[in-house]
Amino acid sequence: MKILIHCNQPFVLAHGGLQSQIEQTQSALERIGVEVEFLRWWDENQKGDILHYFGRIPISILLGAKQKGMKVVFSDLMGGTGARSRNKLKLQRWGTWIFRRIFPDLVLAHFNWESYRLADACVALTGWEAHLMTYIFDAPPERVHVVPNGVEEVFLQAPPTQRGPWLVCTATINAVKRVVEIAEAAVLAQTPVWIIGRAYAESDPYAQRFYSLARRQPEIIRFEGPIQDRAKLARVYREARGFVLLSAWESLSLSALEAAACECPLLLSDLPWARSTFGEHAHYCPVGSRQQTARRLRAFYDQAPLSKPPPKPLAWIEVGKQLEQIYRSVLKRKN
């Protein structure tokens, strides 16, 4: 069995969770003996049994892979869709249904909705996203699988230590992660927060707004850039008073899983991805005003030392084993 991995987001243009997910998935599969290669667009002689695409696979690529005799699996990140209200999701469902009956295939091909119905397997990170694949895009339920992200062993094995005064937020500095809003709320609540991460571009106006705030409020906002040393980052999670991630939307946050692996109390945006993953084992904050966020942040700061630790997430090698089972099942299935 040989797996070809492909995605449409060049790593050089946007670092983040998708890159980590793909690289860790490849490593985990190789560790359990599965042959894996990245799809080489220039190599017409490359062979593979399964194409695993990360993102919503273009229908042209899906059909082309099937014509070559390959099975197709794709892992779609539906964070933006998953953050919509139930009324908006219902409207999207009906809009998709109407579009399919009004417009010709040539127009519909641009949306790649048929990929959900034609793929041999669709992989979702959470049960909520699996529901959306069937509810909105008519993916066959028997072909939808939930396989969460994993964490590296260094986080699962990090030893306990005494926790300090800082809340920690590990995130790319952009508007989706709402880092500025967290920092502003922290200043209002006089709650110390350590922001760990970097922007896609230092010239980004949103990032500049955060840098300016961090310089003016160093006693509340700690910022030293990203931490590349994974063992050091695990120690930071172990020493943190709590972990904060108040994104406008997420698919399944790797940093939240890393913090959970280090038994760090969690404060997350009150969105379905978080509720479906951590349930009662986390604290939640609505995506709201600065004043509302400040109140929740302060309450979490006071409650964190008394909070029970969240459950341990999977190691990446366990994720690899679940994917291997999916691969083998689709290879057994007749076209």
The whole-model pTM stands at 0.92
Q: Is residue 227 part of a domain?
A: yes
Cβ atoms of 135 and 89 closer than 8 Å: yes
Each residue of 77-127: pLDDT tens digit?
888 888 988 999 999 999 998 888 888 877 777 888 899 999 999 999 999
State how far the Cα of 311 lies from the Cα of 264, in Å rounded to an integer.
Answer: 10
pLDDT (mean) for 3-14: 82
Supply the mean pLDDT for the chain: 93
- Same-domain pairing of 25 and 76: yes
CA 171 to chain centre: 11
Is 16 a member of any domain? yes
Indicate left, alpha or beta for 263 from its phi (over 0: left) and psi (-120 to 50: alpha).
left
Say whether both 275 and 253 belong to one domain.
Answer: yes
- DSSP string across 168-213: EEE--SSTTTTHHHHHHHHHHHT--EEEE---S-TT-HHHHHHHHH
**Strands, E, within the chain: which ranges?**
2-7, 35-38, 50-54, 71-75, 121-124, 144-146, 167-170, 193-196, 221-223, 242-245, 266-269, 283-285
Domain range spanning residue 122? 2-150+316-332
- The residue among 12 and 233 whose pLDDT is bigger is 233
The whole-angstrom distance between residue 284's C-alpha and the CA centroid of its chain comes to 18
* Residues facing residue 37 across a β-bridge: 4
Question: Is the same domain home to 139 and 233?
Answer: no
Structural domain includes residue 267:
yes
Q: What is the pLDDT of residues 155-177, one digit of tens each?
A: 999 999 999 999 999 999 999 99
Do 180 and 109 share a structural domain? no
Q: Are residues 158 and 300 in the same domain?
A: yes
Q: Are residues 232 and 325 in the same domain?
A: no
Domain count, the chain: 2
48, 185: one domain:
no
How far is it, in rounded angstroms, from Cα 198 to Cα 228?
A: 11
Q: Does 279 share its domain with 227?
A: yes
Partners of 52 in the β-ladder: 5, 73
pLDDT per residue as tens digits for the range 288-303: 889 999 999 999 999 9
Question: For residue 16, what pLDDT is reported?
Answer: 66
311 located within any domain: no
Report if residue 272 sits inside a domain.
Answer: yes
- Per-residue pLDDT at 14: 60
Are residues 104 and 179 both part of a single domain?
A: no
Same domain, 294 and 321: no
Whether 288 maps to a domain, the answer reads yes
Residue 2: left (phi > 0), alpha (psi -120 to 50), or beta? Answer: beta
Residue 95 domain flag: yes
Alpha-carbon radius of gyration of the chain: 21
C-alpha 243 chain-centroid distance: 16
Q: Same domain, yes or no, for 209 and 92?
A: no
Over residues 206-220, mean pLDDT: 95
| 220 within a domain of the structure (yes/no) | yes
Answer yes or no: do 199 and 81 share one domain: no
pLDDT of residue 334 exceeding 70, the answer is: yes
CATH number at residue 168: 3.40.50.2000
